[in-house]
Structure 1
Amino acid sequence: MTANGREATSTDAIRVLITDDHPVFRQGLKGLLQALGGIDVVAEAECGPDAVRLAAELQPDVVVMDLHMPGGNGIEATRTITRTSPRIGVLVLTMFRDDDSVFAAMRAGARGYLLKESGAEEIARAVRAVAAGEAIYGPEIARRVLTYFTDMPDPRQAAFPQLTEREREVLELIAQGRSNAEIAATLFLSQKTVRNHVSNIFMKLHVADRAQAIVLAREAGLGETTKNAGTP
């Protein structure tokens, strides 16, 4: 017997539940996966609620999940399955490539996301990766995810849009507890120029002194690298 109570097989095949509302697609995917070896399709579901029920009953290693199906969508099914049976990996296999679908699936707990146009080997590789506890995304989806995080605005800049880039640099150092002389040395500015920047920052942030500016800056995430003791 295996650790989860199932009888071990000679091939130790990955047990898969396919969820899709198109029977022809399900049959084709089943034949594709089983022909590659090492994967056993134990059941098929045509909607989200059926997938939840069969996943709870059969405890497959992987649920291959479509997203938009009559009678219950794949996002809710994914969320329920990953919450009630965390050991089961969900691999989304869908036609939808929009950001809303991708990130909704990720938030629901899906470990992988592929498009239905993916090749047989790519799908089989993803099933094996998800069964092993890895996260895997098709090339286009991976690019979307990377682009999303790369293009995210710096929250420190978004917090104080009224400040110039130089003023944000000065505020960062103020939040670290630096004196005007230390800021001048760090940014290669004169102390007079630093004093002018500090005055502009106080005016734009509507604060009366350095202490109030530090509080606002640290609440926005600035000054996380504080000055070490003894730093000149």
Structure 2
Amino acid sequence: MGVDADLRFVGMYPSSNTQTCEQGWFCPYLFASARTPSVPRANEFAIAQSFGPFLSGDYLLAHKLLSESTHTLSLCEANPTIDIGTNRMLILFTGISPFRANMWSTSRRPGCGTIIFHLLDGCPALVVPVTKNAPITAWSPWTLSQMRASQYSMQPQTPRSGIYSPEWQHEQICEWLDTIISLPHINEKVRDRYVDVLGRSVSLVINGALALDRCQPLLGKLDPERAGICMFRY
């Protein structure tokens, strides 16, 4: 038996397609750790946030993903062994897969959750200091599948059209990060221009994901419908 996950959504607006379920692409992570998520299909959102229940594995996973990331962009000291006086948020593009047999039920095991994370060398991770208002985990609703489809879509890429736009995703993530970032803990060298540095860093994370379209044969078993940008507090 699991418990309900405390999910809160930022930037909600009516969905253009109530049958779609892409915005819940990261839910299996919560499901695997016995935290049952509920994402309404009637609304879309800019960012989904999970505020609990908290598991120590959340921080351990953030540390592992950080250590395995080939490139890291940091607005503060990223090393988790160094106390900077506040929490940090890891933002990265990743894909998730079930433990085995391509069934998510195999990832929800007694006493533990087992899930496969895919990290790509060309996608940098970003670390920013955050306040106590930051969630445990969060994710952007746009999937790699939607990112790819938008590049060949004839429909206009406008907000709330249901069509992915990198500029819009960039705006959604930056506006959300601006509400939880801890300014006093940003590196002094970039503190005065952190808005520009943050914007450029988020662009690199998004562009890294968009560039994957040119190396599809190398992605192996990565499911584009279960891949996107997520965040972990640590």
Q: TM-score range by the shorter chain?
A: under 0.3
- The higher-RCO structure (CA 8 Å, 6+ apart) is 2
TM-score computed with the length of structure 1 as normaliser: 0.24
Of Structure 1 and Structure 2, the greater helix share is in 1
TM-score computed with the length of structure 2 as normaliser: 0.24
Q: Which has the larger radius of gyration?
A: 1
